[in-house]
Amino acid sequence: MFTLHELRRSASLATKVFIQRDYSDGTICQFQTKFPPELDSRIERQLFEETVKTLNGFYAEAEKIGGSSYLEGCLACATAYFIFLCMETHYEKVLKKISRYIQEQNEKIFAPRGLLLTDPVERGMRVVSFWAVLCEGTGLTTSGVPGEAARKWGLP
């Protein structure tokens, strides 16, 4: 049994494939849909692309500037931003959706293929990483620890 933390340390158990951000449209959050060759034998191309495109869609929705985000801003201003103590922002709501989606994808699609998708928010949304479990013969239980990066960073 291994935790994700242990997985991180023991390189022999998992190899990591990083999918970088796609900056071609500016700083909006989207990830490259190009299929990494390391996953060639692990997962079908369409599945991968579909996953990344869905994620991109989620992020686009989070960053969407529209009526709801405007109203949210006005409300926040009006309450001197005390509203943020009670309510979570639209972006955070979408991030939760993303997190649920990733969890679901991991359970349904990636874990049966020996892969694990990490939430990009843990790494500052710079990369999405796939962890490919190396050994067929090893059963792993992983516990995702988002924010571990933050915790690590916070350490002196």
Partner 1 sequence: MPAESGKRFKPSKYVPVSAAAIFLVGATTLFFAFTCPGLSLYVSPAVPIYNAIVFLFVLANFSMATFMDPGIFPRAEEDEDKEDDFRAPLYKTVEIKGIQVRMKWCATCRFYRPPRCSHCSVCDNCVEEFDHHCPWVNNCIGRRNYRYFFLFLLSLTAHIMGVFGFGLLYVLYHIEELSGVRTAVTMAVMCVAGLFFIPVAGLTGFHVVLVARGRTTNEQVTGKFRGGVNPFTNGCCNNVSRVLCSSPAPRYLGRPKKEKTIVIRPPFLRPEVSDGQITVKVMDNGIQGELRRTKSKGSLEITESQSADAEPPPPPKPDLSRYTGLRTHLGLATNEDSSLLGKDSPPTPTMYKYRPGYSSSSTSAAMPHSSSAKLSRGDSLKEPTSIAESSRHPSYRSEPSLEPDSFRSPTFGKSFHFDPLSSGSRSSSLKSAQGTGFELGQLQSIRSEGTTSTSYKSLANQTRNGSLSYDSLLTPSDSPDFESVQAGPEPDPPLGYTSPFLSARLAQQREAERHPRLVSTGPAHREPSPVRYDNLSRHIVASLQEREKLLRQSPPLPGREEEPGLGDSGIQSTPGSGHAPRTSSSSDDSKRSPLGKTPLGRPAAPRFGKPDGLRGRGLGSPEPGPTAPYLGRSMSYSSQKAPSGVSETEEVALQPLLTPKDEVQLKMAYSKSNGQPKSIGSASPGPGQPPLSSPTRGGVKKVSGVGGTTYEISV
Q: Which one, 55 or 116, has the nearer CB to partner 1? A: 116
Residue count (the chain):
156
Q: Which one, 53 or 126, has the nearer CB to partner 1? A: 126
Looking from the CA of 31 toward its CB, the CA atoms found within 13 Å total 28
Least Å distance between CB 6 and partner 1? Answer: 13
Least Å distance between CB 143 and partner 1? Answer: 5
Q: Which one, 33 or 54, has the nearer CB to partner 1? A: 33
Least Å distance between CB 135 and partner 1? Answer: 6
Q: Which one, 86 or 136, has the nearer CB to partner 1? A: 136
CA 11, CA 8: separation in Å to the nearest integer?
7
Least Å distance between CB 14 and partner 1? Answer: 8
Q: Distance from first CA to last CA of the chain, Å, rounded?
A: 29
Q: In what order do the strands lie in the sheet with 127-133?
A: 14-20, 127-133, 115-117
